[in-house]
Amino acid sequence: MTQPLEQIVRRKLSDEVFDRLERMITSGELQPGDEMPSERVLMERFGVGRPAIREAMQSLANKGLVSISHGERAKVLRLTAKSILRQVDLTAKIMLSQSSDSLEYLKSARIFFERGMAREAAQRASANDIADLRNVIERQRMSLGRAEEFIDADMEFHTRIAQISGNPIYVAVSEAMLAWLKEYHTEMLIWTGKEKFTLAEHDEIVDRLEANDVDGSETALLKHLERSRALYAK
């Protein structure tokens, strides 16, 4: 029986250079904030031309590993949950735009996630956390009639609840999901007449958090998100 061909695909030089540069970063040879070696140094070190170096460096930048500024050496970036999630912003938005199912899945995932955040916040919220949340609500109340500002304050309110956890990954996930959902507000006008419901529900959530009422905080947030999920539509 004839064995199937197993073709060996020759890799581009820039892919090989990318692997070497990535290894320099992940091994600790280069630390966050360090400048990358010059193109000439890298060309001599790897025995390749300038195009391969530049293409590999651009791939590093696209993955959020380095920053490239005109006229300056590329610098190694400090990776955070926020910077990693920003790398998938465009692809996430494309996925959501192509599938109404994906948008519904995202709304459901957000509700599942924020219920957990509410329970966590109810156990950990300090007086300063509560004061910050009430200040956000007040700014939101002052922005009535200005849809963009109102929605920005709404997003800040929910992200601030995630911050109470003290976990930067939770905060990054909250910011990412809210940013993706913001793309799908139906013409902003859909908020008209519903802003006061949002403000009252936010007040109730903070009251429950302040009382360290774990179940009540989750229930109040769930009621709020189930009502408002219809505001996000394709």
- What digits encode the pLDDT tens for the residues 196-219? 888 999 999 999 999 999 999 999
Per residue in 32-77, pLDDT (tens digit) is: 889 999 999 999 999 999 999 999 999 888 888 888 887 788 899 8
Burial of 208 (0-12, 13-18, 19+ CB in 10 A): buried
pTM tops 0.75, yes or no:
no
Predicted local confidence at residue 231, as pLDDT = 63
Predicted local confidence at residue 94, as pLDDT = 78
Positions of the chain with pLDDT lower than 70, given as ranges = 1-10, 184-193, 230-234
Question: Which residue in the block uniquely carries the two structure tokens 């970036």?
Answer: 77
Predicted local confidence at residue 202, as pLDDT = 96
CA 143 to chain centre: 25
Predicted local confidence at residue 3, as pLDDT = 62
Q: Please name the residue ranges forming H helices in the chain.
A: 13-26, 39-46, 50-62, 81-86, 89-98, 100-124, 127-142, 147-163, 168-182, 195-210, 214-228
Least Cα distance to 118 among 224, 11, 213, 218 occurs for 218
Predicted local confidence at residue 88, as pLDDT = 75
Angle at 111 between CA 117 and CA 172, to 5 degrees: 55
> What CA dihedral angle connects 156, 161, 165 and 169, to 10 degrees?
-40
